[in-house]
Amino acid sequence: MKSLFWSLFYCASLLLSDVLATYHLSGVDPVSAQSFAQTRNIARPPHRTLNPAKTDSQCRSRPLDLVFIIDSSRSVRPGEFEKVKIFLADMVDTLDVGPDATRVAVVNYASTVKIEFLLKDHLNKPDMKQAITRIEPLAAGTMTGLAIKTAMNEAFTEQSGARPRSRNISKVAIIVTDGRPQDQVEEVSATARASGIEIYAVGVDRADMRSLQLMASIPLDDHVFYVETYGVIEKLTSKFRETLCEAKVEVVVVDPCKCEARLAFQKQTQTAIQQLTARLADVTGRVEQLENMVGRV
C-alpha cells in the first residue's frame, strides 16, 4: 500500500512541477525603463493670476476625454495650489473644447477624493475655467490610488460624459502630485491603463519618482514629467500641447507591450496554482487515510 501512496504522490508532484514550468511565474516589471522627462529651466516666471475670460485655442486635431487628477494634500501650499489651477486653465486654453471636441473633468484628492466637475458638465472654455477658479484644496493625506480608481470608475464613464469606445476618442488622465502616495497605485494604475486610459504623471519637488513610473503609461520618457517647483509647472503646457494636440490617424494601441495582460495572466495563474496545491494536499490526505485503514485491516 505504501508503494501505491508514494506512486500517487510522485505523479501529483510531477503534475505540479509541469504546471509551474508551463506558467513560469517569474516577476514582470511593467516599468523597467527608468528615464523620465525633466524641465531644467527654473528661472522665476512673472506673477500670474487665473483669468477665466482669456481663451486661446491652439489644438483642433485630436478630440480627447481628458481628466486631470490633482493632489491638494497638506504639502501643497495655497499659493502653490493656485499655480496648479493656472496650469489647468492654460491647458484648457490649448485645447479645442466642445461637445464633439475635447471634454475635460477634474478630480481633486487628498485623504478623500472629490470630483470637481465631470466631462459632461462644462463644454465651453469660459465655464470650464470659471469652475477651475472655484476649486479649493482638500488639505490632508495623499490617496493617489483611490483618486485613480475614482477617476476610472466615475469620471471616465459614459454616464459622466465620456464618449463610447466605438468612437475611438482617446481617454487621457494627467496626474499632478508633489508627494508619495499613501496607498497602492501599481495595480489600480495597471487596471486603468488596461481599460484604455493613457496616464501622464507629473511630479513636483518631493514627488516619488518610482510611484510616478508605476502610474504612467509606457514609454515612460513620454509620460513621466518632473518640475522642481510649482512655480514652473506652467512650462509643461507647451510640452503637453505638442503631445496632446498632434494629429493621430491610427487608432491608439492599448498596452502595446502587453504588460497589463501579462500581469493579469500571472495573477490568474497564481490563483490556479494555489487551487491545484490545495487539491493535491486533499488527495494526499485521502491517500494517507486509506493507507491507515488498510494497515489496521
Residue tagged 508627494 (cell numbers): 179
What length is written for the chain?
Answer: 297
In the prediction, which pLDDT does 157 show? Answer: 97
SS3 assignment, position 146? helix
d(CA 67, CA 106): 6
pLDDT at residue 7 in the model: 54
Residue 200 banded pLDDT, cuts 50, 70, 90 = very high
d(CA 210, CA 220): 11
How many C-beta neighbours within 10 Å does residue 208 have?
17
Question: Interior CA angle at 244 toward 242 and 250, to 5°?
Answer: 110
The residue-averaged pLDDT of 116-126 equals: 96
Q: Calculate what percentage of the chain has a pLDDT beyond 70.
A: 69
Confidence of residue 132 (pLDDT cuts 50, 70, 90): very high
Mean pLDDT of the chain: 79
Write out pLDDT tens, residues 66-115: 999 999 999 899 999 999 999 999 999 989 999 999 999 999 999 999 99
Read off the pTM.
Answer: 0.66
The distance of Cα 150 from the centroid of its chain, to the nearest Å, equals: 11
Paired with 70 in beta bridges are 108, 176
At residue 246, the pLDDT reads: 59
Separation between Cα atoms, residue 297 and residue 129, nearest integer Å? 86
Between 130 and 24, the more confident residue is: 130
Given this model, what pLDDT does residue 289 score?
Answer: 77
User: Could you tell me the pLDDT band of residue 296, with boundaries at 50, 70 and 90?
Assistant: low
Indicate whether 269 pLDDT > 80: no
At residue 275 the predicted structure's pLDDT band, cuts being 50, 70 and 90, is confident
134-184 tens-digit pLDDT: 999 998 899 999 999 999 999 999 999 999 999 999 999 999 999 899 999
Angstrom distance (rounded) from CA 181 to CA 55: 34
pLDDT score recorded for residue 280: 76
Q: Above 50 in pLDDT, residue 244? A: yes
pLDDT band at 55 (very low <50, low <70, confident <90, very high): very low
Predicted confidence at residue 9, as pLDDT, reads 54
Name the E strands within 101-143: 103-109, 113-117
Start-to-end C-alpha separation, the chain: 12
